[in-house]
Amino acid sequence: MSPISSINIAGKLALFSEHWQPKVIAQMNDYQFKVVKVLGDFVWHSHADTDETFIVVSGRLRIELRDGHVDLGPGEMTVIPKGVEHKPCAQQETHLMLIEPCGVVNTGDQGGARSAPNDVWI
């Protein structure tokens, strides 16, 4: 068992600059806590088997839905239920924490050029 210690979220975010490439910073049971920097529009996608949690650390995030949208600012979060199509968008660089089961692909059912390598720890 590894020692219990604190994790500095801002410090982890300072270790990389690329957008839409989630990095794992912790794991609890079968769930991973990931940090990611986003800018611009992502792809429409859904996750058939799992919900997805978005927590805004800094910046602003809009999550487009087929029937509306959710706007989030620092300290705000939302849970996108499994199977719901969504497209995250950020007009300025935004820092997020994601909580999702191990093995979830960031582009869900869409794949493509925006798919990030999975299980990358920092």
Q: Per-domain residue ranges for the chain?
A: 24-122
Give the whole-angstrom CA distance, residue 84 versus residue 31: 20
User: Does residue 29 come out as left (phi exceeding 0), alpha (psi in the -120 to 50 range) or beta?
Assistant: left
Measured torsion, CA atoms of residues 73, 20, 43, 78, in degrees rounded to the nearest 10: -30
Instruction: Summarize the chain as % helix, strand, coil (round to 5).
Output: 5, 45, 50
Q: What is the pLDDT of residue 110?
A: 75
pLDDT of residue 104: 87
Region of 108 (left: φ > 0; alpha: ψ -120 to 50; beta: rest) is: left
CA 21 to chain centre: 9
Q: What is the mean pLDDT of each run of 10 residues along the chain (122 residues)?
A: 89 98 97 98 95 98 99 99 98 98 85 85 96
pLDDT on residue 113: 80
pLDDT of residue 3: 84
Q: What are phi and psi of 11, to 5 degrees?
A: -65, -40
Spatial contact of 115 and 96, defined as CB atoms under 8 Å apart: no
What are residue 13's phi and psi, to 5 degrees?
-65, -30
CATH assignment, 24-122: 2.60.120.10
Q: What is the pLDDT of residue 115?
A: 87
> What pLDDT does residue 1 have?
61
Do the beta carbons of residue 108 and residue 51 sit within 8 Å?
no
